[in-house]
Amino acid sequence: MVRPARRLFLQERRRPVALDASFLEALAAVLGPRGLVTDPADLASFNAEERGLYRGEATVVARPDSTDACAEVVRLCATHGVSIVPQGGNTGLCGGAVAGANQIIVSTGRMNRVRWIDADGCRMAVDAGCVLADIQAKARDAGCLFPLSLGAEGSCQIGGNLATNAGGVGVLHYGNTRDLCLGLEVVLPDGRIWNGMRALEKDNTGYALRQLFIGSEGTLGLITGAVLKLFPAPTSTATALCGFEDLSRVTRLLSLCRSITGDDVTAFELIPRFGLEIALEHLDGLRDPLEGSHPWYALVELSTSRPGADLNEVMESLLGRAFEEEILSDAVITASLDQRASLWRLREGLPEAQKHAGASIKHDVSVPLSQVPTFIERASAAVTAACPGIRPCPFGHVGDGNIHFNLTQPKGMDKQAFLDRWEEMNRLVHDIVADLGGSISAEHGIGRLKVDEMRHYKAPLELDLMRALKTAFDPAGLMNPGVILPATTA
Amino acid sequence: MVRPARRLFLQERRRPVALDASFLEALAAVLGPRGLVTDPADLASFNAEERGLYRGEATVVARPDSTDACAEVVRLCATHGVSIVPQGGNTGLCGGAVAGANQIIVSTGRMNRVRWIDADGCRMAVDAGCVLADIQAKARDAGCLFPLSLGAEGSCQIGGNLATNAGGVGVLHYGNTRDLCLGLEVVLPDGRIWNGMRALEKDNTGYALRQLFIGSEGTLGLITGAVLKLFPAPTSTATALCGFEDLSRVTRLLSLCRSITGDDVTAFELIPRFGLEIALEHLDGLRDPLEGSHPWYALVELSTSRPGADLNEVMESLLGRAFEEEILSDAVITASLDQRASLWRLREGLPEAQKHAGASIKHDVSVPLSQVPTFIERASAAVTAACPGIRPCPFGHVGDGNIHFNLTQPKGMDKQAFLDRWEEMNRLVHDIVADLGGSISAEHGIGRLKVDEMRHYKAPLELDLMRALKTAFDPAGLMNPGVILPATTA
């Protein structure tokens, strides 16, 4: 699935000098044979893009195995005026890691050591190239929890999670990636290394540099290491799937969860009936967990590290109360780890199921929680009016006000004809988001995909401030140009 | 108590033009009679400084009553090249709100409306000049909790809390002020207004501007409004005072608290025997809560919003276990709100008690939690060797690794002779902090007081980045010059 040609990656407005022989020689000397990828077959995975919306054209991938080597590569690029696209696990959904022919990719994959772990103090220091699932496993082995969790966790890298301030299913209780990071190490655009690897809860000595690099999508510097926060491992977990007659009841259940369980709601995910149906149809080994059909479902999870807590009991009384108040139509609490895994597979499998159901136009938006039902109703009506037969599949982190408002093509429509309407659908949906005080990118970032939308929806003043920051940190404009910030002229 | 003359505020290196008549006339026209303070008697409180370390010399205080009026004042200052010192409740401890004769203070005190409150959604939007205690009360009236809590809460303003990223006693569970803010409104140095008043949990559309303004101490812009996060009000609270033989046992109790209560430890404050003694001696109506004398005490508080939770029971079993493991020497759980208030008065009264016990040299430092005992032992030994008879009073937010390492003068020593050793003591203590990977300002910020220490302890690269940010946002250098950032030449 490839979007219209103008969406393919061609080149940046500011075209860098060609990758000449002297630059490549110097690069090879720094990186050694294992650290430099130029073979077209080996380049393919670095040039691939998760959703097939872009085609990368990089001919050179640098794979430094240390912060110092990474800094040398960046310095060399600064000297030669070569622009850099940082790349972690290459799982981003907005084309932020796609490189052009005159750029090099700096891949962090070989920088994958856990530097230290302090289980008592609930801290862990890692290289940027550590795979998220490996970090989760290391934390678990030490009796702790690293709560960042998302679909790509088996291959995404923590450096990319930090660069994009990734979200996922644990944000409701544990916050975004930003909230899980205490310290950072960054190679600056001139090749200097900022050592901000602090492990402190409180440090008010100057501007929030760490916060600025987090979420800047590699445009201000290249993240090479981080100090992460861990949490005590949960001792009790309860998981349920709930069915609802309408959306307002979904948000009412969340309020009830919070008032009954205190801080123990750790996931609250929306699934529409259409999503459930395509998951049952296209994914193996799933069955409908509830009898009858319900327009909306929520996957609700409680967890705590309090010893002796029985959250299944809490969940039972919570759902009992929700029945009494006529919030719920039906619900099931999982009785085994297998059942729990099935529910999560149903939720996590929605993007995959959607691929089988035809072409999709996607949105990753957030609105204030109270506006979620209004948003979904208005946006569904707008896209249906514009494209009769379209099948909205709004799902995801409703507890954070974050909806993946994905649109499956009408049955029988030509895929490309549907995808050609991507911008049109974006405008319809994003206008409603803006009207409700929401965000057009809740957790995926901007990348290349939403740069034009930034020009449309961000206040010029805010773009001015962003440009001032970019110029202050990267005056030559060599770090991931074309990402996050629209060019000054349209 | 006044520190050596060189510490008095005299003037900035970059002396702005004098406040000429045309500027003052234009200011009066914008602000009206109630908005402009020039009478020396009325100016006194704006020129006072909390610790008496500085003497302000401002002759003009602007008190705009709206964001638009504030923006007009800032624009006027930009036009006339007049530099601005933003001031909230003027309770800061580092001289960040002290103005010179050629500067004007812009006080946010008249901008004190709660803009809206959404109790269901746990959100509240406020003007920057709202007093913290008023915000707490409004939240409480709506059945919620705004957890920021600190000694000055009766007069400090939320704008100042945000500008300094204030800490306090609730950080352990709820985070710093930064973590309690979802949206911000800022008047930029050129007088434009940035409307970042979002109420979203997730928004990944560009650089983290909000994070950058928070903690920048009024040097990048003037905060005029904020969207705050509220929390469900606690339904159960348990408070105890514990006595310990040594410091390592204090941190062991914190670990035990966390493993036994999960997320329910909401305060964990250190008090040394010396602190307890001077509090009993100098504050009215307090008595020693424990029999016998213990070198160290901790005020421990558990709280939760789970209905039906009995945290006194949890506290009892927690302390029982701590006795068994020989962590505790003695402990008492409060049995009434009055008893609880007394314990907190003991803790919150330490700075006042110290004033009665003689001159103090103060430090607000943090180290990784595991290093707290080492830090206190090493720093106490170092200052005692340099100044025999000195009485260290390390107290505060030990759960965050944040110690107010305050030093009371030796008995009988001349106050000024002791205070003359301020920088010498700072160097001794901060060297140990730096050696342990800590911060020389955990929660109070830098202000004017610690600017020289920044030059000494911050990496030049980090100062470069800070300067680049300052120049990008405030090229004319008119926003709180001399604060946070040392001048480029010594």
CA distances from A444 to A299, B14, B51 (A): 21, 44, 47
Nearest CA to A428 out of A451, A456, A447 is that of A456
Residues A141 and A196 occupy one common structural domain:
yes
A83: pLDDT strictly greater than 90: yes
CB half-sphere exposure, B399, CA atoms < 13 A: 28
Q: Which amino acid is at B263?
A: D
Chain-chain contact of A200 with B368 (C-beta, under 8 angstroms): yes
| Helix axes A372-386 and A247-261, enclosed angle (nearest 10) | 160
B1: pLDDT strictly greater than 50: no
Residues A273 and A183 occupy one common structural domain:
no
Q: Are B11 and B102 in contact (CB under 8 A)?
A: yes
Chain-chain contact of B203 with A441 (C-beta, under 8 angstroms): yes
Cα–Cα distance between B138 and B120 in angstroms, integer?
14
Nearest CA to B431 out of B482, B382, B395, B392 is that of B382
Strand-pair category, A236-244 with A265-272: unpaired
| Helix axes A422-435 and A372-386, enclosed angle (nearest 10) | 150
Chain-chain contact of A198 with B123 (C-beta, under 8 angstroms): no
Instruction: Quickly list H helices, B142-294.
Output: 158-164, 171-174, 209-213, 247-261, 273-282
CB neighbours of residue B235 within 10 Å: 15
CB neighbours of residue A301 within 10 Å: 26
The shortest CB-CB distance from A205 to any of B199, B235, B446 is to B446
Which own/partner contact pairs does B43-48 have at CB distance under 8 Å and 24+ positions apart?
Answer: B45/B90, B46/B87, B46/B90, B46/B99, B46/B105, B46/B107, B47/B98, B47/B99, B48/B90
A473: pLDDT strictly greater than 60: yes
Among B179, B205, B251, B305, most A C-beta atoms within 10 A, so best to mutate, is B205
Residues A118 and A99 occupy one common structural domain:
no
Among A117, A202, A214, A369, most B C-beta atoms within 10 A, so best to mutate, is A202
Residues A415 and A369 occupy one common structural domain:
yes
For residue A197, the chain B residue with the least C-alpha distance is: B437
Nearest CA to B195 out of B209, B181, B215 is that of B209
Residues A72 and A142 occupy one common structural domain:
no
The mean pLDDT value for B298-309 works out to 94
Q: Are B267 and A310 in contact (CB under 8 A)?
A: no
Question: What digits encode the pLDDT tens for the residues A92-138?
Answer: 999 999 999 999 999 999 999 999 999 989 999 999 999 999 999 99
Instruction: Show Cβ contacts of residue A417 under 8 Å, excluding neighbours closer than 6 positions.
Output: none
Res B9: pLDDT: 44
Beta-carbon contacts below 8 Å between A and B: 251
Strands across the sheet with A296-304, in order? A265-272, A296-304, A236-244, A330-333
Chain-chain contact of B309 with A261 (C-beta, under 8 angstroms): no
CATH number reported for the structural domain that contains residue A24 in this entry: 3.30.43.10
A471 within domain boundaries:
no
Instruction: Read off the tokens for A335.
Output: 């009785």
The mean pLDDT value for A370-376 works out to 97
For residue A457, the chain B residue with the least C-alpha distance is: B205
- Residue A442 gets which letter from DSSP? S
Question: What digits encode the pLDDT tens for the residues A425-456?
Answer: 999 999 999 999 999 999 999 999 999 999 99
Give residue B313's domain range: 236-351
Cα four-point dihedral sign A314, A316, A322, A328: positive
Chain-chain contact of A401 with B206 (C-beta, under 8 angstroms): no
To which H or E segment does residue A464 belong? Answer: helix A460-473
CATH number reported for the structural domain that contains residue B367 in this entry: 3.30.70.2740
Chain-chain contact of B306 with A123 (C-beta, under 8 angstroms): no
B342 within domain boundaries:
yes
The shortest CB-CB distance from B200 to any of A215, A220, A438 is to A438
Cα-Cα end-to-end distance for chain B = 27
A381 within domain boundaries:
yes
B4: pLDDT strictly greater than 50: no
The mean pLDDT value for B29-51 works out to 95
Res A13: pLDDT: 43
A175 within domain boundaries:
yes
CATH number reported for the structural domain that contains residue A178 in this entry: 3.30.465.10
Nearest CA to B214 out of A185, A223, A212 is that of A212
Cα-Cα end-to-end distance for chain A = 27
Chain-chain contact of A468 with B472 (C-beta, under 8 angstroms): yes
Length of chain B: 490
CA distances from B393 to A235, A427, B361, B427 (A): 39, 61, 10, 17
Distance from CA of A37 to the nearest CA of B (A): 31
Beta-bridge partner residues of A486: none
A389 within domain boundaries:
yes
Beta strands in A327-396 (DSSP E): 330-333, 360-361, 364-366, 391-395
If one counts the domains in chain A, the total is 4
Chain-chain contact of A401 with B214 (C-beta, under 8 angstroms): no
Res A218: pLDDT: 98
Which of A407, A435, A463 corresponds to the end of one domain?
A435
B370: pLDDT strictly greater than 50: yes
Residues A218 and A173 occupy one common structural domain:
yes
| Helix axes B372-386 and B422-435, enclosed angle (nearest 10) | 150
The mean pLDDT value for A225-241 works out to 96
A260 within domain boundaries:
yes
Cα–Cα distance between A184 and A128 in angstroms, integer?
9
The mean pLDDT value for B457-479 works out to 97
Question: What digits encode the pLDDT tens for the residues A131-165?
Answer: 999 999 999 999 999 999 999 999 999 999 999 99
Which of A83, A107, A131 corresponds to the end of one domain?
A107
Cα–Cα distance between A416 and A409 in angstroms, integer?
10
Q: Which residues of A touch B200 (CB under 8 A)?
A: 366-368, 401, 437-439, 442
Chain-chain contact of B207 with A484 (C-beta, under 8 angstroms): yes
Among B176, B200, B207, B237, most A C-beta atoms within 10 A, so best to mutate, is B207
Res A12: pLDDT: 44
- State chain A's mean pLDDT as an integer: 94
B467 within domain boundaries:
no
Instruction: Read off the tokens for B403.
Output: 């110690």
- State chain B's mean pLDDT as an integer: 94
Cα–Cα distance between B172 and B146 in angstroms, integer?
14
Instruction: Show Cβ contacts of residue B330 under 8 Å, excluding neighbours closer than 6 positions.
Output: B242, B243, B290, B291, B292, B294
B12: pLDDT strictly greater than 70: no
Res B52: pLDDT: 87
Cα–Cα distance between A99 and A108 in angstroms, integer?
15
Res A388: pLDDT: 98
Burial of B452 (0-12, 13-18, 19+ CB in 10 A): middle
Residues B96 and B35 occupy one common structural domain:
yes
- Residue A182 gets which letter from DSSP? E
Residues B121 and B214 occupy one common structural domain:
yes
Question: What digits encode the pLDDT tens for the residues B84-138?
Answer: 999 999 999 999 999 999 999 999 999 999 999 999 899 999 999 999 999 999 9
Residues A341 and A373 occupy one common structural domain:
no
Residues A118 and A228 occupy one common structural domain:
yes
Which of B207, B232, B257 corresponds to the end of one domain?
B232
Q: In whole angstroms, how large is the CA radius of gyration of chain B? A: 23
Residues A245 and A344 occupy one common structural domain:
yes
Q: Which amino acid is at A187?
A: V
B173 within domain boundaries:
yes
Instruction: Read off the tokens for A67.
Output: 């912060």
Residues B124 and B219 occupy one common structural domain:
yes
Question: What digits encode the pLDDT tens for the residues B179-211?
Answer: 999 999 999 999 999 999 999 999 999 999 999
Q: Are A49 and A448 in contact (CB under 8 A)?
A: no
CATH number reported for the structural domain that contains residue B267 in this entry: 3.30.70.2190
Chain-chain contact of B208 with A465 (C-beta, under 8 angstroms): no
